[in-house]
Chain A
Amino acid sequence: MSRQNWILIAILVLMGLIPVTGSRYYVFLLTDILIFGLFALSLNLLLGYTGLVSFGHAAYFGIGCYACGLLIKKAGLSFGIAFAATGFFGAAAALIIGFFCVRLTRIYFALLTLAFSQIVWAIVFKWNSLTGGDTGIYDINFPKFLDSRTKYFYFTLAVVSISVLILRKIVNSPFGRILMTIRDNPERTEFIGINVKLFQLLAFIISGFFSAISGGLFAVFNHSIFPDFCYWPVSAEVLIMTILGGMYSFFGPLVGAAVLLYLRMEVTSYTVYWPFILGTILILLLFFFPGGIVGFIENQIKRWRSSK
């Protein structure tokens, strides 16, 4: 096995040991990080691997939240079935929305994804009888077999690990390689015989699937869901996580989610002006660390190696 895989297993084991420390704080934070890390990783399949800037990924996260929440609360399904279905709702939405979006490029693609996500938000916001509108849905409880924060943490860890494994397989597959050629040069990719729009759509669907999974995890973790989860600033936040960690490395978005959520947790205990801090971090990032945290570290390692 490669060295990287050993490191990953070590990290996984360490994370699995966190609840042993008895810290409710870290269990909570880590669950949050895993969920949003998965969300950011799935966004990055589009952003860093396919070169498509989606400004409407809140839609698939929100659809995941509401699919899971509504299937449990309104349809009365068990958690297991509801959660298993969640990803497919996200994928279906991504199929329909993506079908239209991949016809456009660059800024127009971003605007169209934004418009669609706002439609999703408006539907959730206005469809009172189903979604509870502005008040949202409450009391989405842990299922019986996961009736504590710790158990739910292990469940999240398992789901996210498997998802990450699959995503990593995908980006290292021929399909993933073709996505990268599309990112670098869609025109040329067409001329090596690839139906570019089809590949973009497939990436969109996979991304929507895993975004919805993360949304489903979050709905139960948070016990309640609101239309705000589909609102456009959520799309912006997950973009920030992704580039904070680094969009050109596979684990970058996960690192970005970890750093951002940890900072938010710490900062909000001192001041209400977290958005100001986040905005400042983002500006510094754009000016001084355009490759994100992981990109910066990789560069330093490269420099250190070549100086030896």
Chain B
Amino acid sequence: MILQVDNLAKSFDGFIAVAGVSFQIEKGELCSIIGPNGAGKTTVFNIITGHLSMDKGRVVFNGMDISRLPAHKICRLGLGRSFQRINIFSRLTVFENIQAAVLTHRGKSLSFFTSVQPLFQEETEEILVSVGLQDHRDAVSGPLAYGFQKQLELGIALASNPKMLLLDEPTAGMSRQETKGTIELIGKIVREKGLTLLFTEHDMSVVFSISERIMVLHQGQLIASGPPDEVRTNQDVQKIYIGESRCS
């Protein structure tokens, strides 16, 4: 077991965002969390990665209690994440974006007088290739096309050489075609590197095609968890999704 979440709870100004969520993820598993908007998916992610503090509960990662650790320490333990909206270093080039994460991972971030330029060239290039950005190496990342920026985000997350990846809507805002490509890429990388994956996603075909296990979050509570076929036929889940599509 690589990640264990016990009875997680969080409320904002009286609004209960997460109401006692517990789950476990085995090493090497490909899991997803789904649920309607506002179900608390991003909040769960933010709590696990130390971006938000929890009101109640416990998170254990790789045998270590990380419930009260700051985000940067959690990242160093090998829990990488990406964000729903674009979150890159927009004035830096693609190469520099990834190199920054690599050199932090290698413990070089506090050297003041060595030149940064030649550091970890090969390692950075490797990651660039693995996320398919080798042709945009020296482009400033801010003006890049949306799809490339999403790939770059993934690259930054990978550069910390994580044991587990938490991806929050890795294909948000992408076209069908881009979504398909990106998901295949993620699946390939995760399997090659033997990572554990937990992701949220709005596109159900994506979720069911890649996940080994799906967890369904509704109004801050986990209402179902299991392999895709089991979740697909779960009555509670169907109720929520049919209910939602009627509303929107």
Interface residues of A (CB under 8 A from B): 169-170, 172-178, 180-181, 183-185, 187-196, 199, 248
Taken residue by residue from 88 to 119, chain B's Cβ proximity to chain A (1 for < 8 Å, 0 otherwise) reads as 11111000110111011100111111111101
Residues on B with beta carbons closer than 8 Å to the beta carbon of A188? 83, 87-89, 156
Taken residue by residue from 49 to 72, chain B's Cβ proximity to chain A (1 for < 8 Å, 0 otherwise) reads as 101000000000000000000111
Distance of B132 from chain A, by nearest CB (Å): 20
Residues on B with beta carbons closer than 8 Å to the beta carbon of A170? 112-113
A177 & B156 in contact (Cβ 8 Å cutoff): no
B70 & A177 in contact (Cβ 8 Å cutoff): no
Distance of A197 from chain B, by nearest CB (Å): 9
Interface class of chain A by DSSP: helix
Known A-B contacts A191-B71, A193-B75; A181 and B112 likewise in contact (beta carbons under 8 Å): no
**What's the Cα separation between A187 and B81 when bound, in Å?**
12
**What's the Cα separation between A194 and B103 when bound, in Å?**
11
Distance of A188 from chain B, by nearest CB (Å): 5
Known A-B contacts A185-B90, A190-B71, A192-B100; A173 and B156 likewise in contact (beta carbons under 8 Å): no
B75 & A191 in contact (Cβ 8 Å cutoff): yes
The winner among A170, A172, A194, A248 for most chain B CB atoms within 10 A is A194
Distance of A196 from chain B, by nearest CB (Å): 7
Known A-B contacts A170-B112, A170-B113, A188-B87; A180 and B92 likewise in contact (beta carbons under 8 Å): yes
Known A-B contacts A174-B109, A192-B160; A187 and B87 likewise in contact (beta carbons under 8 Å): yes
Chain B residue nearest to A176 (CB atoms) is B116
Residues on B with beta carbons closer than 8 Å to the beta carbon of A181? 89, 92, 97, 100
**What's the Cα separation between A188 and B115 when bound, in Å?**
23
User: Which residues of chain B from 102 to 158 have any CB-CB distance to chain A below 8 Å in the complex?
Assistant: 103-105, 108-117, 119, 156-157
Say whether B76 faces chain A, with CB atoms less than 8 Å apart: yes
Residues on B with beta carbons closer than 8 Å to the beta carbon of A178? 100, 103-104, 109
**What's the Cα separation between A192 and B99 when bound, in Å?**
11
Q: Which of A172, A184, A185, A195 contacts B117 (CB 8 A)?
A: A172
**What's the Cα separation between A250 and B106 when bound, in Å?**
27
Residues on A with beta carbons closer than 8 Å to the beta carbon of B112? 169-170, 173, 175
Known A-B contacts A174-B108, A178-B109; A196 and B114 likewise in contact (beta carbons under 8 Å): no
Known A-B contacts A169-B112, A170-B112, A195-B70; A177 and B88 likewise in contact (beta carbons under 8 Å): no
A174 & B75 in contact (Cβ 8 Å cutoff): no
Residues on A with beta carbons closer than 8 Å to the beta carbon of B87? 185, 187-188
Residues on A with beta carbons closer than 8 Å to the beta carbon of B216? none
Number of A-B contacts (CB under 8 A): 100
**What's the Cα separation between A196 and B51 when bound, in Å?**
13
Residues on A with beta carbons closer than 8 Å to the beta carbon of B30? none
Residues on B with beta carbons closer than 8 Å to the beta carbon of A191? 49, 51, 71-72, 75, 80-81, 157
Known A-B contacts A172-B115, A172-B117, A175-B109; A184 and B89 likewise in contact (beta carbons under 8 Å): yes
Q: Which of B96, B105, B110 contacts A175 (CB 8 A)?
A: B110
**What's the Cα separation between A106 and B88 when bound, in Å?**
19
Residues on A with beta carbons closer than 8 Å to the beta carbon of B110? 174-175
Known A-B contacts A192-B156, A195-B72; A173 and B89 likewise in contact (beta carbons under 8 Å): no
B89 & A175 in contact (Cβ 8 Å cutoff): no
**What's the Cα separation between A192 and B73 when bound, in Å?**
9
**What's the Cα separation between A248 and B99 when bound, in Å?**
20
Say whether B167 faces chain A, with CB atoms less than 8 Å apart: no
- Subset of 16 A-B contacts with CB under 8 Å: A169-B113, A172-B117, A173-B113, A173-B114, A175-B112, A176-B116, A177-B103, A178-B104, A180-B89, A180-B91, A185-B89, A187-B87, A188-B89, A190-B75, A193-B104, A194-B104
A185 & B88 in contact (Cβ 8 Å cutoff): yes
The winner among A169, A175, A177, A192 for most chain B CB atoms within 10 A is A192
Distance of A183 from chain B, by nearest CB (Å): 7
Say whether B159 faces chain A, with CB atoms less than 8 Å apart: yes
Distance of A189 from chain B, by nearest CB (Å): 8
**What's the Cα separation between A7 and B105 when bound, in Å?**
36
The winner among B76, B81, B89 for most chain A CB atoms within 10 A is B89
Residues on B with beta carbons closer than 8 Å to the beta carbon of A190? 51, 70-72, 75
B89 & A194 in contact (Cβ 8 Å cutoff): no
Residues on A with beta carbons closer than 8 Å to the beta carbon of B49? 191
The winner among A180, A188, A193, A248 for most chain B CB atoms within 10 A is A193
A173 & B92 in contact (Cβ 8 Å cutoff): no
Residues on A with beta carbons closer than 8 Å to the beta carbon of B156? 188, 192
The winner among B76, B81, B101, B109 for most chain A CB atoms within 10 A is B109
Residues on B with beta carbons closer than 8 Å to the beta carbon of A193? 72-73, 75-76, 101, 104-105, 160
**What's the Cα separation between A188 and B101 when bound, in Å?**
10
Distance of B87 from chain A, by nearest CB (Å): 5
